[in-house]
Amino acid sequence: MRTLSSFRPSSGTHVVVRVDFNVPLKGGVIVDDRRIKNAFPTIDLLLKKKTVPILVAHLEDGTKSLRPIARFLSRSYRVDFITGDIFDVHTTGRIAATRPGRVVLLENIRRYEGEKKNDPKFAKQLASLGDAYVDEAFSVAHRAHASIVGVPKLLPHYAGLAFAKEVKALTFTLRRPFFFILGGAKFETKVPLIEKFLKMADHVFIAGAIANSFFKASGFPVGKSVVDDGQDKSIKKFANNAKLLLPIDVVVVHGKKSRTCTLEEVKKDDIIVDIGPKTVALVIEKVKKAKLIVWNGPTGWYEKGFTGATKKIARAIESSKAHAIIGGGDTGAVIEKTLRKHSKHIFISTAGGAAIDFLAKGTLPGIEALND
């Protein structure tokens, strides 16, 4: 996989740069700008090399505008925001005429059907806007879309600085004791991770809504908690593994009241929202002994503000001597705000699904496209 260190462009070279600016917005205001700022070093380097970065990004399903992102970028760069049809003669002429020192941002690329379909004709049109291609969107490298796998087939291609950093960090060297923490929801998507790390790690701790599914399959009451139905067969395959660790107490809510209880004490109207203090203590003991920690997904219902256990575990990892790799957009957002100082032994990924797929499979469509 070629990186930008081997890129030797001439002045005025136009570079199609796939970035991930799919950030949360509230009332048109960016809530978490980490993914945008992650691309800044690559944009800065391309500007230093006197090229014209043409930023290609998406936002949700393609119906929303990148205008809030364009405003954010304009604080740091001279930005030309292309809102019209990017393949219109007037638009392509405008992009071609852009000189070094400016950054071009294309409107939401998912408004075009050819993007998700990886249509060869669409990929060719997109590639025609530049002379080279850079992938700086590791967090969507698990998608076989035109701007991720189609365009690099048609242009000299390179991995962006953050993209290469993600691949390097997630391709970790095994150290023991190795502790793997898995939280979040969507049990079905996490099965390959559980299978892989039960073989690799010394212990695998399951939390979040995934744990609820384990509780239910084991006969414990889960009240009105989020569970993935129909997974009992897969769960029972893992349940008796000595390496598998599950919560022994939980935090539940009923109406506006919350309490901590054992698994047996969960009532029919309760909702499990986080792991309890006894479980946190057990996890922290494993953290203290570990030399390698890989963590994907929060332990609690992040969207509802139940981040207490996640923060305590993050601080314990910060105080430990373990090499830690933390993936998952939600987990990273909470932990980055929690850590008291920058820790060289902790790598926080901005990727969610891509990090999960890479940890499970060891590669991604976007990586394969850059390796060709």
Q: How far is CA 180 from CA 43, 167, 272, 320, in A?
A: 34, 18, 22, 15
What SS3 state is found at 199?
helix
End-to-end alpha carbon distance in the chain = 8
| Strand residue runs (E) in 246-317 | 249-254, 257-262, 271-275, 292-296
Note whether 79 and 103 are within 8 A (CB). Answer: yes
Q: Which two tokens stand for residue 300?
A: 């609690």
pLDDT at 341: 67
Local mean pLDDT, 10-residue blocks, the chain (372 residues): 94 98 93 93 98 97 95 98 93 96 98 97 98 97 98 98 95 94 88 93 96 94 91 86 97 95 97 98 98 93 90 94 83 75 83 88 96 88
Q: What confidence score (pLDDT) does residue 186 get?
A: 83
Residue 49: what pLDDT?
Answer: 97
Instruction: Report the residue count for the chain.
Output: 372
pTM across the whole model? 0.89
